[in-house]
Each structure stands twice: as structure tokens, then as C-alpha cells.
Structure 1
């Protein structure tokens, strides 16, 4: 029942998982920028740069990164503003374009599985790889075993919630900016200058379209779940500008730095490239710190999604997701070792299935609710008000999500991530408009919100 609230479901670590973040608990632009930059723009981006550098020339990588950056800037900026306007987590606000049941199920499949467990498992496995690079002959630091004890530490950090993310963000980004700056300086000084980077041939091959899709796919999860962080923003402008700023100023710098290091060394692992350039084990320890914070966010977001599916204490949900994700990471570590192939495949899949839901939310919030429903005040579009009727299923959203994901997977032309995003956006508006013309509503199975914590 809506409005039910119990000690078992809430705690001081709950972080308003099933309700709007109150104004007194919100932060300004500077905090938003640091948290976004730390949890989304840190070590995974450098790893992705390594993956691009293994298959693209530097000039091709520039095109791929700039193309992906444009998409991510627009999509993330709009999604972040929705989070700040509503004060709701990603999965709770999905209840509007997908319905309560649709939002619960989609949140579980798209985020709990792909981010809270999937991305978390990938990052925990990458943590194991880094530890094995630093201590290659110690069984305690084997890829699989390091993933186990590293995952346990990350679960503890996620238990605390947003305050831990905010605290760690003040330390992480300066380290990573310094890390890439030093790496690029070494490349220019010792490996023949910038001309050597531009002329270096990749060890493998990747098409330019695959590079753009991988660039979008890497960040697609973070972009879609940006409301989880943005809901703590004082204003939509603070959250949106913070997102745009961290994407424009940090994303290309970090990812292209990884590309340059891998290209000139010829290795497929960015950590190996750093060691070959003489950056030392201390640099890898900085990478470890970055992995802790980004994976804390992965698990944090997954815990919010699981709470939306089945109301429980948020920190308990983080433990459940964390144990499953750590087990997956350990399995990959023991079976795949340091092979980067699982990482490349994972970000490609994310680039196909996650963008449609972002397009649907943006279409619903900025087009359907503003023009078809006439709710001009953006602060009022995604609000749960006691006594009002809401819906368990939105046919337009569910069908548009399926169509977008299908197009992303099967259409062989263009960029899958963008194809999926545009399909989800246009399909949702078109289906909703057709229902309006027929005098019907795609929203069915109504229920009454009685106030308090959502269920």
C-alpha cells in the first residue's frame, strides 16, 4: 500500500530511496560537479580509452569521442534536470512514463542487472586486474581473489550512501586529472612526441561506428541513472550544468589520454601501458581508489532500483546486489583473467539497450506532459500527491522501450545507441499521440497514492 513506512524499510542510510529529496538535504553546483566527475568520469573512462586505442587510430578516436560526447552531453543534461526538478531517483520517476509496474520491472532489468550487478561486477573484476598487475606473483592479489575482497570493501562503502560518494569525490578527480596529464606528458617526452601518437597504428581493428557506439555505451548507464545524483541538486540548473561541465571538460581528456598511452605502447591494457611508460605502481593505486568510488555509485544506483522493485532498507539492497556482483566478478576473474574482451562486449551491449529509456523519459517529461497534458511547470510534472490517481502501466512507454531496444540490436546501419535513443523518443510521443486522437489513454490500471513512502 502507498504511504506505508516502517522501521524495517527506512534508516539513516536510506537516502530518500522512495520519496522526494527534501530541499534542506540538497547541494549546489560545486558538489554536483565533483560527484558527477568522480563517480562517472574516473577510471572506467580511462579503461575505455585503452579499449579504443587498441582498435582505432588517434584521429579516429577523436571523432568517436566527440560524437559520443555530444550525445551524452544532451541526454545527460536533460536527464539530470529531470532528477533535480522531481527530487526522485531514476527508477521512481520511471513510474511516470512506464507505469508503476513498468518502472519497477524495467528498473530491475535495466539497472539492477546491468549497473547494480553488471557494471559493478565489471569494475570489481577490473579492480582485480589492477591488483594483479601491482602484485603479480601473490595469490592474495590474483584477479579472482582480489575481486572478492575488493568487492567486500566496496559493499561496506555503499552501505553508507550518498554522503560517502560526496566525501570521496573531493579526492578522486584531482588524482585522475594528474594521472592522465602525467601519462600524456611522458608519451610526448619519451615516445616521439604528439606526432608519434597521431601516426601510431592500433594493434587490432574497430570500425568508427563501433567506436562511437562504445563511447556512448560506456557512459549510457551513468547518463540514464544521472537523476540518482541530480535529485540532490538544489536546482535543475545546478544539476544540468554540472553534468554538462564534467562531460565536456573531463570525458574527452580522460578517454583520449587512455587512447594515447595504449597506442604508443602497443598493449591492450591501459594499466600495462602505464607501467611500460614508467608511471609506477603508485599510479595504479590511484586507479584502485578511483575504482572504489565509481563502483560505489554502481552499487548505490542498483540498490535504489532494487528498493523500487521491492521496498526494503536501501543499505540491505546494496548488500544483496554487492554479493551477487562480487560473485560474478570473481567468476570472470578466475575464468577470463586479464582479457579485456568481456569489458568491450559489455559496454557495446549497454549502448544498445539503455538509450531508449532515456529517450522515453525525456519525451514524456518535456513533450508529452508539457504539450499533451498541459503541465507547464516542470516542478509539477513528476510529483506524487496524496489523493491523486496514478497508473500501474503505461503502454506507450513499455512498447517504445521494446521498439528502441530492438532497433538498437537489429538495425545494421548508423550508430546503434543513437538509433535506439531516437526510436524510443519518437515512438513514445507517436504512440501517446495516437491514443489521444482515439480519445483513449495509454495509462491503465489506476491506483490512488495515499501519501508517505512509495511502495
Structure 2
């Protein structure tokens, strides 16, 4: 299709075109949105999962190691979003090709953000509700996941403006929540010595802990352009990501570790109740779940629009219905078991970083040094009368290799293996094909301007 077939509405949020300069925001707004949509309940839950299998000293090593990787990867990826002004999935048409980007986006929303992560967060919402109001059928895990998912879908309908509005309330709540939890642990459980001496209930290797730390945030890192495309500059976007990941992520996740280790509780929500933190504090967690799941569904809607032209808000409803159904099924079948969550974040850490490595390799290395495009604003721009390509062989092969290495190779850290393999293999394959006098991009088509389908 051509750019003349534009589908727009006041809630479309420039889903298939560059965000105009007059619709962009500065560092503080982007920082708050990043912190709100990615620094919510799942991070605290992940801390609980680490505290179930690692000592506190091991958790510190795992979290700080993962934070450094996520900070660097996310800053560079967020900067790409600001340079291009494009959503993650439209942007992927460069390193993967038009149809490669569509297929990868479909896989991402199916397994992770738009449906997978959304389903996990909606299921966690059901767990929190069941802990706050036990023995009440309306607040059972499966039922609460259904009505909670409906409310989250309605919020996503509005788009970035809703994320921006909610961000101003969410961050203080989460910082206050964990700060109070840690203070109570230190006061009632024997101080910091008790946390350091606590033995986890289960066992997790340090490498698995690092991979899980990266895996938890890998999806958010890769889709950061969905938010950073609204940044006024690449510097604002990169700094906003790095600031939120460095200052907020370790605090929230290690706070969850400390609380679980000190109480010995399997679930972070149970641990908070055991500490006497009360229903009001858990309701703050629920509020955080709403905003992070709004972002999950928002990103998924952008991917679905990239796959099948439709209004973005309609795409959010479709993803929301599917994700809510999955969350309800898990809620009715698994109840409050944390096993699905542990398995899910481990899976993310195994294969998602490969896509991040490919984007960085294409934008910062191939486009600059092989294709000789020095201006970063022009590397991922869509302009009239240019030729674009349906398939990028180098990107498809690199994604397959990175995913396979991340999933099947147990030596080292799977997330790092996946990232490095995707990054290096893309550069090598692209360069070899070019050196042979061929083009990695095949099946060109003309872009007539406006928006690209």
C-alpha cells in the first residue's frame, strides 16, 4: 500500500509516521514516563523472585550487572527512537525489511509486550487483588484479571497522553512503597544484618539471576522508541532512559529482594502484608500495574497497526481482549503460583536482546560506516521517492542466530549471548553480502510519502 491510504484519529499517536517536532517533550516528561511504565510492580515482583533463589549479596551483583547492560542498551536504543521519531515496529523495517519488521513485531506482541507481558501483568493484578480481598469470588485471581484487564484496555485507548498524565503520580508512590518496606524490615526483622544473613528458600545460580534481571527489562528496553520518539532530542531520550534505569531499577528490585528474604515469604504481596504494610500500600501497587500495562498494550497496538493498517485505539482493544483472556486462563489454572512469571522473564532474557543488538548494529555501525550515512537523523527517515525493501536478509539471519544462541547455549549469560550474537552477526553477514557485490535488502518498493504501510 502507499502512503496515501492514511488512517487517522485523534488517538492515533502518529503510529505509522514520524512524531512532529511540535508534539515532542523534554527530558523531565520522558524520564517520568519511562520510570512509570517500566518501574512498576513487575520490578518489585522480580525482586521477590530473586530473593526466593539468591542471597542479598548475590542479588546485588546480579542486579547491578544487569542494570549496567540495560542502561547502555536502552540509552542507545531510546536515542534511535528520538532521532527517527518512529515507533519500534516501523523502525524495524530498516534492519529487518518491511515484511521482516512486520513478522518480528507480531512475534514480539504475541510473546511479550502487547499480549504476553500484558497478560502477565494482568495476572499479577489478579494475584494482588486476591491477596487484598481473600475468599471473595469477585477478587479471585481469574475474575480480577478479567475486570482489571477491561479497565486497562480502556485506559490504553487514549494513548501517550494517558501515560504522561499517570506518570506524575506513579513514581512517588513506588519509591515511597519500597522505602517504607525496607524501613519496616530493618526495624522489625533485626536490621540489615538479618537481610544479609538470610538464606533463600530455593536456589538460583548467579548467571541465571543476571539473565533474569536483564530479561525482565529487555522487552521494555527494545520497545523504548515507542516512548522516546516523543523526546525533543536524542540526548533527552538517552539521558532519560539512563537516569530512570540507574536510579530507580536497582532500588525497586533490591527492595523486593530484601523484603522477601527477611520475611521468608514466597510472594512479595504476602511479604508486604506480613510486614503490616496494609491494604492501602498494596493498592498503590495496583495503580502501578495499571500504568505499566497501559504501556504494554500501547506498544502492542503500535505493532498491530504496523502489521495490519487500522486505527491504533482499535488495535489496543483487540490486543487487550486477547491478553485479558490469557491472564484469566492462567489465573484460573495457576492461581497465585509464581512459576509462570519466573519462566516468562527467563524466556525474555534468552532471545529478546538479539533484536536490540541488531538495531544498534544497523543504526550505529552499518548505516554510518557501510552505507556512509553520517547524519543520524537521516538513517531511519522515510522520505518521498526513496526505495525501501521488503526483506533484509542480514537482519533475519542475525535475529535467528541470536535467538538460537540465547535459548540453547547455557554457557555464560544467555541475555548477553543473544545480544552480542545479534549485534556481531548482523554486521558480519551484512558486510559479507555487500563484499560479494550483492545487496542484503531485497524486493524493493517505492514509498510515495505521508505514511508507510
Which of the five TM-score ranges fits, normalised by the shorter chain?
over 0.9
> Secondary structure of the equivalent of 1:160?
coil
Cross-structure match for 1:418: 416
For 1:319-354, what per-residue CA distance to the aligned partner results, in whole angstroms no more than 9, with x for missing partners? 000000000000000000000000000000011111
For 1:284-324, what per-residue CA distance to the aligned partner results, in whole angstroms no more than 9, with x for missing partners? 00000000000000000000000001110000000000000
Cross-structure match for 1:64: 62
Check conservation: 1:104, 1:309, Cα contact below 8 A: yes
Cross-structure match for 1:122: 120
Q: What's the Cα RMSD here? A: 0.6
Cross-structure match for 2:353: 355
Check conservation: 2:49, 2:257, Cα contact below 8 A: yes
| Residue in structure 1 matching 2:277, options 276, 279, 282 | 279
Cross-structure match for 2:13: 15
Cross-structure match for 1:3: 3
Note the 1:370-449 alignment, pairs <5 A: 370-449=368-447
For 2:111 and 2:19, the matched residues in 1 are separated by 25
For 2:96 and 2:294, the matched residues in 1 are separated by 27
| Residue in structure 2 matching 1:263, options 258, 261, 265 | 261
For 2:2 and 2:57, the matched residues in 1 are separated by 54
State the Cα distance separating 1:41 from its structure 2 match.
Answer: 1.1
Cross-structure match for 2:141: 143
For 2:240 and 2:199, the matched residues in 1 are separated by 36
> Secondary structure of the equivalent of 1:311?
coil
For 1:38 and 1:230, the matched residues in 2 are separated by 14
State the Cα distance separating 1:111 from its structure 2 match.
Answer: 2.9
State the Cα distance separating 1:440 from its structure 2 match.
Answer: 1.0
State the Cα distance separating 1:184 from its structure 2 match.
Answer: 0.4
Cross-structure match for 1:296: 294
For 2:371 and 2:212, the matched residues in 1 are separated by 36
State the Cα distance separating 1:110 from its structure 2 match.
Answer: 1.7
State the Cα distance separating 1:112 from its structure 2 match.
Answer: 4.1
Note the 1:26-425 alignment, pairs <5 A: 26-425=24-423
Count how many residue pairs are aligned between Structure 1 and Structure 2. Answer: 453
Check conservation: 1:46, 1:270, Cα contact below 8 A: yes
Check conservation: 1:117, 1:322, Cα contact below 8 A: yes
Check conservation: 2:108, 2:114, Cα contact below 8 A: no
> Secondary structure of the equivalent of 2:218?
helix
State the Cα distance separating 1:2 from its structure 2 match.
Answer: 2.0
For 2:389 and 2:139, the matched residues in 1 are separated by 50
For 2:111 and 2:405, the matched residues in 1 are separated by 21
For 1:414-443, what per-residue CA distance to the aligned partner results, in whole angstroms no more than 9, with x for missing partners? 000000000000000000110121111100
For 2:235 and 2:258, the matched residues in 1 are separated by 34
For 1:182-236, what per-residue CA distance to the aligned partner results, in whole angstroms no more than 9, with x for missing partners? 0000011110000100000000110001000000000000000000000000000
For 2:111 and 2:124, the matched residues in 1 are separated by 18
Q: Structure 1 segments of 4 or more deviating over 2 A?
A: none
Check conservation: 1:112, 1:305, Cα contact below 8 A: no
Unpaired runs of at least 5, structure 2 = none
State the Cα distance separating 1:121 from its structure 2 match.
Answer: 0.3
For 2:365 and 2:437, the matched residues in 1 are separated by 19
For 1:205 and 1:236, the matched residues in 2 are separated by 41
Query: Which shows bigger deviation, 109-118 or 204-213?
Result: 109-118
Check conservation: 1:112, 1:303, Cα contact below 8 A: no
State the Cα distance separating 1:4 from its structure 2 match.
Answer: 2.6
For 2:427 and 2:79, the matched residues in 1 are separated by 20
Check conservation: 1:129, 1:337, Cα contact below 8 A: yes
State the Cα distance separating 1:10 from its structure 2 match.
Answer: 1.4
TM-score (normalised: structure 2): 0.99
Check conservation: 1:165, 1:293, Cα contact below 8 A: yes
For 2:309 and 2:74, the matched residues in 1 are separated by 27
> Secondary structure of the equivalent of 1:233?
coil
For 1:217 and 1:111, the matched residues in 2 are separated by 16
